[in-house]
Amino acid sequence: MSEPHADVVEEGRRLITLAEEENLPLRLLGGVAVRLRGPGAGHVAFERSYADLDFAAGKGSSRGTASFLEAAGYVAHVAFNALQGSERLLFFDDANGRKVDVFVGAFAMSHRIPLAERLELEPISVPLAELLLTKLQIAELNEKDVGDALALLHEHPVGEKDGDTVNAGRIAVLCAADWGLWRTITGNLEATLARLDAYALSPEEKSTVAQRARALLERMEAEPKSRTWRLRARIGERKRWYELPEEVAGGP
């Protein structure tokens, strides 16, 4: 395999191509995934730099994924991978000063988003529904995640299927089973909409994004809630409903 590219977007593309050649279930997450799923180069309003690469891998694929990334020019975080490897892996590209984060089976940060059963639906990234959820699940929303979430809603319609559509049904089902996830996603969608005017979009584009976000909120509201959801809703915000993920220490 060749050495990692200096351009992080091209490096994400390279790794996905190599993984496909080796029949390894690996899909992009994060900002690079949003960029590569957008039509063309994406809208100029959402352009930003990308520091690192994030991937999702299938359950039980940690060993194969580790071997693949080491062969692709990455150095493993030995201690972290020994402790967390069944759920998460960490690697470094020393030449370009980047890291690669791999979530195995599920994306677990402020909330847990299952990925394994739908990992191979799309060839480049996890499905758009899960990609949007990973951007909106963070308890303390930051501007890059706001921009990426808005980019997804700008570039993709909201509907009841996958592919180039954000599958609102999938999001609604996951949130209807977990009050905490529902609370964070709905709150962050509202917060994201509140920042829409800060982005250099035409009035028509802003209207489209807002309509799609509202359609998603309405779909989530309409989905029948589980008994577990209803019981947790009674407690509400009196008890913290999200995890506080720890920063991973650098260095292999």
Closest CA to 55 of 118, 124, 6, 111: 124
Q: Give the pLDDT score at 249.
A: 57
pLDDT at residue 39, rounded to an integer: 78
pLDDT in tens, 30-58: 999 999 998 766 789 999 999 999 999 99
Extract the runs of DSSP E, i.e. beta strands, from the chain: 26-29, 53-57, 75-76, 88-93, 98-104, 106-108, 112-114, 158-159, 166-167
Predicted confidence at residue 250, as pLDDT, reads 58
* Secondary structure of residue 108 in the 3-state scheme: strand
User: What mean pLDDT value characterizes the chain?
Assistant: 95
Q: Would you say residue 220 lies in a domain?
A: yes
Q: Is residue 247's pLDDT more than 80?
A: no
What is the per-residue pLDDT for 8? 97
Q: Indicate whether 245 belongs to any domain.
A: no
Indicate the number of domains in the chain.
1
What residue has token string 């191509």?
Answer: 17
- Amino acid code (one letter) for 55: F
Given this model, what pLDDT does residue 196 score? 97
pLDDT at residue number 205: 97
Whether the full predicted model's pTM is greater than 0.85, yes or no, is: yes
Task: Establish if 96 belongs to a structural domain.
Answer: yes
| For range 225-238, the mean pLDDT | 98
Q: Where is average pLDDT lowest: 39-43, 80-84, 143-147, 148-152?
A: 39-43
**249 within a domain of the structure (yes/no):** no
Q: Residue 14: how many CB atoms within 10 A of its CB?
A: 18
The answer to whether residue 250 is domain-embedded is no
Kindly state whether residue 191 falls inside one of the protein's structural domains: yes
Residues 197 and 210: beta-carbon distance below 8 Å = no
Question: What tens digit of pLDDT does each residue of 89-115 get?
Answer: 999 999 999 999 999 999 999 999 999
Domain containing 125 equals 8-238
